[in-house]
A and B are shown apart, each in its own frame.
Chain A
């Protein structure tokens, strides 16, 4: 069985696209529609990689990302951010949250601005998982 990859995105079209790319490339996809659901799946399934959207209802990707990267057991799980939010805004948000008293967190393993092509996503997954 292929490596487990969790897709966290509230947009069903994007989830379907990502899952199709994952299945076609031999991975075992998991899916969640918001950060809260995503974090619970991370704890339960311990995926090898997370493809994470930022802007979602309930808990955003920012919260999930910070929770993940400050959890000693989960912080090494690689994350690809796949979002309409610009990378520089994401990085600035992390800086601002750290300034407001949060823990400093590393940058994500990869950042893809939507819309993403299938080849680009597949190549990024392989690269982050050290398979290319």
Chain B
């Protein structure tokens, strides 16, 4: 699974050129083509009473995006990258999925949404919907100014959160291709407190030992791909512990398999990938489950 082509989806205010530049280290993992995409949400140009479809507004928004992309593309072209551009009017997620399919992108990069809790609960977010529908891995990127941590090279020290799901095991294969980029991978499994309740000290240690053995196997797989890897076992609430582990390991990114839960179930019951993607300060790489 090489990353030769990325689809970089931006609304400009969420994801800027600094974020794109920080991804150019992927060149070492065969990146040669960046497709820039801006989706003009339909409601911004929709029919209004007395004015009809706002064609001139569409033209203005297209040109604003075009000017930004020309500037970015010039920079990328000068570095020998191939660049493509999509500026389309429509709904974000279907347009992104269509473009990713047409371009056969290896990775979709998207910014984190800024929505209120109620808005997310009732409407969901573009990120949640994209994670549900995309068969292409998605990197949810955070604005570099959002936290004090600067993620200049997100793939340098990823933290891989493993829950033994098929998607998280696929993430292992995905990251194994990154030996020229990754200095070290921290492989983390979070044991929930529920799993430990009511068991004696022996049983708890047995759980830790068994988890550690499985993590060691994954680390060995990374090391055979010439990537240094460290196993870690954490206990507690999954999303909180993953964030804590990322901080303690000085990770530059969190990688995990995305959820296979139905969209409505995920919206009401929550899921760790969604929570991390939407709340973590770290760039988050979500690998979809294998195709059935």
Contacts and interface: CB of A to CB of B under 8 A. Distances in A.
Most central of A57, A62, A97 by chain B CB within 10 Å: A57
A104 B70 CA distance: 24
Given A85-B77, A96-B80, A99-B80, A57 B70 contact: no
Interface residues of B, number: 19
A55 B83 contact: yes
A72 interface: no
B73 A85 contact: yes
A56 B77 contact: no
Given A84-B70, A85-B73, A55 B85 contact: yes
Contacts of A99: 80
Contact of B80 (A10, A54, A58, A97): A97
Given A89-B74, A90-B77, A92-B77, A60 B86 contact: no
Contact of B82 (A62, A86, A90): A62
A40 interface: no
A62 B77 contact: yes
A92 B81 CA distance: 11
A54 B77 CA distance: 10
A43 interface: no
Contacts of B203: none
Interface size class of A (residues with CB under 8 A): 20 to 34
B79 interface: yes
B35 interface: yes
B102 A92 contact: no
B118 to A, nearest CB: 36
Contacts of B70: 55, 84-85
A109 interface: no
28 contacts: A10-B85, A54-B73, A54-B77, A55-B84, A55-B85, A56-B85, A57-B35, A57-B85, A57-B99, A57-B103, A59-B84, A60-B84, A62-B77, A62-B82, A63-B82, A84-B70, A85-B74, A86-B74, A89-B77, A89-B78, A92-B78, A93-B77, A93-B80, A96-B77, A96-B79, A96-B80, A97-B80, A99-B80
Interface of A: 10, 54-60, 62-63, 84-86, 89-90, 92-93, 96-97, 99-100
Interface of B: 35, 66, 69-70, 73-75, 77-80, 82-86, 99, 102-103
